[in-house]
Structures are given as C-alpha cells and as structure tokens.
Amino acid sequence: MARVLLVDNEASILSVLSTLLKSEGFEVLSIRDCEKAVNIIKTEQFDMMILDIRMTPIDGMELLKIARAQQPEASIIMLTAYGSIETAIEAMKLGAFDYVTKPFKVDELLLTVHRALDYRKALTENINLKAEIKTKYRLENIVAESPSMKNICEMIERVAPSDTTVIIFGESGTGKELVAKAFHMYSSRKNAKFLAVNCAALPEPLLESEMFGHMKGAFTGASCNKKGLFEAAEGGTIFLDEIGAMPLSIQGKLLRVLQEKEIRRVGGTENIKVNARVLAATNVNLEEAIKTGTFREDLYYRLSVIPITIEPLRNRPEDIIPLAQHILRQEIGPNREMPRLDMDVRELLQKHQWQGNVRELENAMKHAITFMAGNVITRAVLPQKLLTALGESQASRNTDDDINEFRNKSLKTFLEQKEKEYMEAVIEAVGGDKEKAAHALKISLATLYRKLPKETKTEGNHQKAETGTATTEES
Ligand SMILES: Nc1ncnc2c1ncn2[C@@H]1O[C@H](COP(=O)(O)OP(=O)(O)OP(=O)(O)O)[C@@H](O)[C@H]1O
Ligand SMILES: [Mg+2]
C-alpha cells in the first residue's frame, strides 16, 4: 500500500483529499502545520507527497526542496491556485512530478496521483536494476552496443509497461520512431494500435482534425463525422512525431487532453473519454523553442516525464559496425550468406561523421549490396558521396598537417617537397622503372635524377643532401 503525505494549511482541502485517497486504498497522513511536516519528512518515508504551494510559515516550494533532498525517490505533486502556473512550473523544475490546480476535479487528481506512482515505480525499478550486474540488453530489432543505447533499452523495458508519457530527442535518422515503437511493443498495449502523426507534415486545421477528429459540416469538406487518432488508438499508443512543429493552438488543446484524458472533436460539443498513451519525438531543441515562444513550457513539462535522448551515431562508434551488419542481414534475408565488410571499409565507416545517422548508414549498406561482387563489401562499392565526404575531410587534414609542417619555411622548400613526393609516387606506380617514370612525368631521365632526393640516387650521400636542402631554405 502506498504511503502518502498531505500538507496544506486548509483543513477542508486536507479532509477532502484524505477521504479520497483513503478510499483509493492509500495510507494517508495529513498535516496542517508546515514545521511539523518538515520533521515528519525527515523521519518518515513516503511514496508520494502532495504539498500546497502557498503555505505559511514555510511555503510549499521550501518544503518541496526539503522533501527532494530528504526523499529523492518520492513523487511530489504540488497544489496550486488557479493562475499561478509560473510557480507550478518552477516547482517542476525543482523536481516536483506534476501540479494540480485548485479547485481540482477528483478524476484529474486521481489520474495524476496514479501517474506519479507509476513513475516512481519505474524509477525505483530502474535504480535497482542499475545496481544489479549489467546483463546484455537485446530488444528485438534494436542494435545497442554503446552504453547510451544500452541505457535506452533498459529504459524501454522498465518504463514501457507503465502509461508514462515519454519524449524522445534525437537528430534526424537516429531511431526515434524505432524506439517509440519499442515502447509500444513492450507495453500491455502492444495488441492495440500504434498510430503516428507527423506534426510537421500537416497544416494546422488538418492536424487538429487528424488528432481529435471532426463532426460533419465542421469545415468545408467535412462530409461526415470522423474519429481522430486519439479515439482510433483506443487502448493503444499515439506517437506525436516532430512535436516541435506543432502549432501553439494545438499544443494548448493537447495539454488539456493529457490532463483530462478527454477530447472534443472539431465542431463537436461533447467531450469524449480517450485512453491512449502518448509518446512524442523531436529533433529540435524544445528548451530553445520555449525561449522563442514557439513551444509551451507547461506542455514541455507534461510531456517530458521520461525524456530519452538518442545520441548521434558519430558519438557512439561502438554501434556502427554492429548496425551495418544488422542492416546487411535484414537486406539479404535469413538464407543468404552474410556479406563481409572489408577492413578498409570498417575503418571508413568508423571515421565517417554520419550526419544522416542510422538512416544514412542504411542507405550506404543498401548501395553496397547492390554493387558488391563476391560477397565482400569493398571501398569501391560504397556510395561516392560517402567517399567524397571522407576524402574532403582527409584533404583538409592534410592541408592542416602541411601547414604545420611547413610553417615558417619558404615556398620553394614546400614545392620541392611536393615535387619529390609526386615523383616517388610515379616511380612506384611504374614499378620502379625510372625511365618509364621520366616518360610519364614528361621530363628527361637526367632531370629526374637531378630532382630526385639524393639518398634515392646514391646511398651514403645522405648527410650532404640534407645540408643542401638547408642551404636552399635560407635563400
Ligand atoms: N539502434 C538501431 N538498431 C536498429 N535499427 C536502427 C537503430 N536506430 C535506427 N535504426 C533504423 O534506422 C532507420 C531510421 O530510424 P527512425 O526512422 O526510427 O529514425 P528517426 O529518428 O525517427 O528519423 P527522422 O528524424 O528522420 O524521422 C530505421 O529504419 C530504423 O529501423
Ligand atoms: Mg522519425
């Protein structure tokens, strides 16, 4: 049985809340006196605390700080007066789980209480799990060799069964949708629908009707009543992709739906109860969007109960080769022999910056399979774009190296060095035959000998050659 501490200066609120929570089977301790509450927080353990923000002589925010420090695993819900949302958001930044506005609806309060307990359960299980010996996590279809991806898999297994809202952050192509689907597949909702909507792809009125449905005649073209995704996903999961692009007006409506678990169709008058778990994803920085006023802060806090960040592929090199192999296996199917990645290719894949993340790697592997010969993936069958990108970074590194090596030396020295390197490369290319090399370079054999580094021409002349170079440098 969960233990709940209630602290409020108002006796009537305490009595209502206490009766309500006891009827739900909780063990409840109600306190009017904040100083007494501080002592109790320091001595007794609670699963959850419900604290009023406005209290004397110690206000709720102060009490929240003490509670967070004393009992970090307890979920804390703040009670706030209507219109003091700013303070409520402050409280969430300080670690409160959520807030409920007074006067509250019983349903809404109970929902928040249950969400808070679910969250606490997920969190403590996760803490316990981390303390255990790490086992290898292999969720179906998710390659996770890097510590950060392993962590995400752990979170999926722990958090998926609860109905907690999850928001997934990550650059394009990092696997946000894949992770969202895994949250659905590992939840009790797995047999119901997983419905996704791309908030960036639809104009505002269409997005609203897509999400919440509409009534016949609500707008031009609304020829019949239509269910929105929230109704259609009954018992399942809704994935709000690119939520950063959601228009502000819809953000407000979504917030209401999350709080009250009911929607109203466009043009409708009736509120309809809905039961869909909400997952969201974005590749934009929502904190920035809040600053510029394009994203609601209250919605952000409501959504980010469990935030998951998928690192860009370049920051988790351990995943690159296993992912490449996973993609190859998927492409060729279970019966064909697995293609081999050349050593050279492995190195290139590790070096590349993968701006398009796993999706770019997928495209590269599909390209390679199409062009490969003899079941080996060599450099030659990688997409030209990838080689060019690597070539460019190689070239810029060479230029940098050159600049450092020849810093403060004359142009003549630099050109002589480059000339020498080129001649040596041509001699090697023609198998060491200097006549052929001279011919290819369109110079006489005598010139080739004159220009060749002395040590290549005559062994034992080494010292002299270096002195010679030093002399030219000064000129
Ligand atoms: N860890 C992984 N293991 C296996 N496959 C992965 C992994 N991460 C991504 N993928 C694959 O890479 C592709 C891109 O992933 P997904 O569509 O989920 O990315 P996204 O972050 O939603 O991209 P976008 O921002 O472009 O919508 C998918 O085919 C997905 O299956
Ligand atoms: Mg996506």
| Exposed e or buried b per residue across 171-195, where buried means at least 16 C-beta atoms within 10 angstroms of its C-beta | bebbbbbebbbbbbbbbebeebebb
For residue 316 and ligand 1, the question of a CB distance below 6 A is answered with: no
* Residue of 160, 174, 50, 177 lying closest to 102 (CA atoms): 50
Q: In degrees to the nearest 10, what's the CA dihedral of 361, 364, 370, 374? A: -90
Domain assignment present for residue 199? The answer is: yes
Q: What is the CATH number of the domain that holds 39?
A: 3.40.50.2300
For residue 251 and ligand 1, the question of a CB distance below 6 A is answered with: no
Same domain for 290 and 429, yes or no, is no
Same domain for 160 and 296, yes or no, is yes
The whole-number pLDDT of residue 405 equals 61
Residue 263: domain span: 152-217+224-310
Same domain for 322 and 298, yes or no, is no
Same domain for 183 and 231, yes or no, is yes
Same domain for 290 and 179, yes or no, is yes
Same domain for 297 and 352, yes or no, is no
Nearest-CA residue for atom 16 of ligand 1: 175
Domain assignment present for residue 176? The answer is: yes
CA 153 centroid distance within chain: 13
Nearest-CA residue for atom 25 of ligand 1: 172
- Structurally, the chain folds into a number of domains equal to 4
The whole-number pLDDT of residue 60 equals 92
The whole-number pLDDT of residue 462 equals 37
Q: What is the CATH number of the domain that holds 379?
A: 1.10.8.60
SS3 279: strand
Domain assignment present for residue 138? The answer is: no
For residue 283 and ligand 1, the question of a CB distance below 6 A is answered with: yes
For residue 176 and ligand 1, the question of a CB distance below 6 A is answered with: yes
Same domain for 327 and 306, yes or no, is no
Dihedral sign of CA atoms 377, 380, 386, 392 in order: positive
Same domain for 106 and 58, yes or no, is yes
For residue 154 and ligand 1, the question of a CB distance below 6 A is answered with: no
Mutual angle of helices 106-131 and 248-260, in 10-degree steps: 90
User: Which ligand gives the minimal distance to the CA of 320?
Assistant: 1
- Tell me, in angstroms, the distance from the centre of ligand 1 to residue 332's CA: 19
Task: Please check whether residue 278 is in contact with residue 317, taking contact to mean a CB–CB distance below 8 angstroms.
Answer: no
Domain assignment present for residue 208? The answer is: yes
Identify the domain boundary among 278, 295, 310.
310
Domain assignment present for residue 146? The answer is: no
Nearest-CA residue for atom 15 of ligand 1: 175
Task: Return the ligand 1 atom nearest residue 361 CA.
Answer: 12
For residue 167, how many other CB atoms are within 10 A of its CB? 23
Mean pLDDT (10-residue bins), the chain, 475 residues = 92 93 94 94 93 91 93 89 77 86 86 83 58 44 93 90 91 96 91 92 92 91 90 94 96 94 94 95 94 95 90 96 94 89 92 96 94 87 86 50 62 80 73 82 87 54 34 32
| Cα–Cα dist 436/345, whole Å | 33
- Tell me, in angstroms, the distance from the centre of ligand 1 to residue 308's CA: 14
Q: What is the CATH number of the domain that holds 249?
A: 3.40.50.300
- Tell me, in angstroms, the distance from the centre of ligand 2 to residue 172's CA: 7
Same domain for 52 and 7, yes or no, is yes
Residue to probe by mutation, ligand 1, list 178, 279, 285, 354, most atoms within 8 Å of CB: 178
The whole-number pLDDT of residue 397 equals 44
Identify the domain boundary among 310, 345, 375.
310
Same domain for 331 and 278, yes or no, is no
The whole-number pLDDT of residue 199 equals 94
Same domain for 69 and 197, yes or no, is no
Strand 272-273, strand 75-81: pairing: unpaired
- Tell me, in angstroms, the distance from the centre of ligand 2 to residue 175's CA: 7
| Cα–Cα dist 333/329, whole Å | 6
Domain assignment present for residue 359? The answer is: yes
Nearest-CA residue for atom 13 of ligand 1: 359
Task: Please check whether residue 29 is in contact with residue 6, taking contact to mean a CB–CB distance below 8 angstroms.
Answer: yes
| Cα–Cα dist 421/432, whole Å | 14
For residue 80 and ligand 1, the question of a CB distance below 6 A is answered with: no
pTM of the model: 0.63
Same domain for 161 and 297, yes or no, is yes
Domain assignment present for residue 48? The answer is: yes
Domain assignment present for residue 142? The answer is: no
Identify the domain boundary among 279, 310, 341.
310
